[in-house]
Amino acid sequence: MSKRPRFPRQWSWPDNGKIAFSVGIPFEAFEKQSQVNFVAAKGVLDRFSLSYGDYGWKAGIWRLLNLLDEYGLKASVSANGLAAERHPDIIRMLAQDGHEVNGHGWANDVYAKDASPELERAEIARCTKMLTEATGGVRPVGWTSPGSSGSDFTIEFLAEQGYIWLGDDASDDLPFVQQTKSGPFVILPRTNISTNDISAWIFPANPPSVFFENFTETFDQLYREGNEGAPKWLSMTLHAHMAGRPTFASTVRRCLGYVKKHDGVFYTRNRDIAEWTLKNQKATA
C-alpha cells in the first residue's frame, strides 16, 4: 500500500510543480587570492591565483550564459561588489537579460566572520549601492556571504536594508522563514554541496563525470519525493571562473538536458522562490 512520504513540512510550488530547479552563478572578484592557489601562503597576494579568478569575467560567464540560453533558463548571479565595480557592463547585461543579481560581499576573499558588526553593516550597504548602480537601478534582494561565512548579525543587517533572502545555510531541502526585527525573512539552504561545482574543482577534486553522477542521483531522489507528494528544490551552483571552463561545459549541458527531460519542473530564480515562500509560509523562528 502506497503511503505519503514521511516529511514533516507541507509544501507546494506554482502549477503543482514536482520540483523547483534553479541555477546559481557566483561572479566573483578577489583582492589577494582566488580559491585556487598553489604556492602562496593564505592571505598573501598571488597573481596566478588572481588570474584564475579573472577567467570568470573574461571567458567563463559568457560560456555559462550561452549554455543557459540553449535551455531558456535564467540564473541567480551572486556578484561581489568589487566584481560589479570592475565589470559594470556585465552586471548591467545580466540584469537586462532577466537574471537575478544578488549580493555576495565586497570581495570574495574577505569574510564577514572576520569583521566587526559595524564593518559588516557598512559592507552590505556598499555592495548594495554598487550592484544597484551597475544593474541600472535594480536593487538586490538576496545575499550569499563569501564562503557562506556570515555572522550572528548578517540576517538582521540584511533585513533592515531591504533584503528578503540569505543563502548561508545547509539545514534543509526547502526554504524556510525566520522572523527578524524588520519582518519575515527567507533562508534558502544550499544543502546539496554535491551539485556545487566547487566539489569538482576544489574539495575534493573530481572529474566532471562525478559531478554529473552526483547531480542526477540528487535530482532523481528529490523528483521521486515530489512525485510522491513532497515537492523539493534543487539548486545547481556554477562559478563563472570554474564551471565556465571548457572542461565542464559538456557536463553542464548534460545536467540541464537531463532536467529538461522531466515534466513538472518549476524553473525559477532564488528571488522568485523567496517571494513565493514569503506568501505561502509562516515564520519558524
Q: How far, in Å, CA of 136 to CA of 88, rounded?
A: 9
190-221 in b/e form (b: 16+ CB < 10 A) is bbbeebbbebbbeeeeeebeebbebbbebbee
Residue 268 has pLDDT above 70, yes or no: yes
- What percentage of the chain reaches a pLDDT higher than 70? 97
**HSE toward the beta carbon, residue 21, CA cutoff 13 A:** 29
Confidence (pTM): 0.94
Instruction: Give the sign of the dihedral formed by CA 116, CA 121, CA 127, CA 130.
Output: negative
> CA-to-CA distance for 275 and 44, rounded, in angstroms?
41
Question: How does pLDDT run across 53-106, given as a tens digit for each residue?
Answer: 999 999 999 999 999 999 999 999 999 999 999 999 999 999 999 999 999 999
Right CATH for 20-280 from 3.40.50.720, 3.30.750.24, 3.20.20.370, 3.40.50.970: 3.20.20.370
How do residues 193-248 score in pLDDT, each as one tens digit?
A: 789 998 887 777 788 899 999 999 999 999 999 999 999 999 999 999 999 999 99
Confidence of residue 191 (pLDDT cuts 50, 70, 90): low
Beta strands in 28-151 (DSSP E): 76-79, 100-103, 142-143
Q: Domain locations in the chain?
A: 20-280
Determine the pLDDT at residue 206. 82
Q: What is the mean pLDDT of the chain?
A: 93
Instruction: Give the 3-state DSSP-derived string for 62-74, with helices as H, strands as E and coil as C.
Output: HHHHHHHHHHCCC
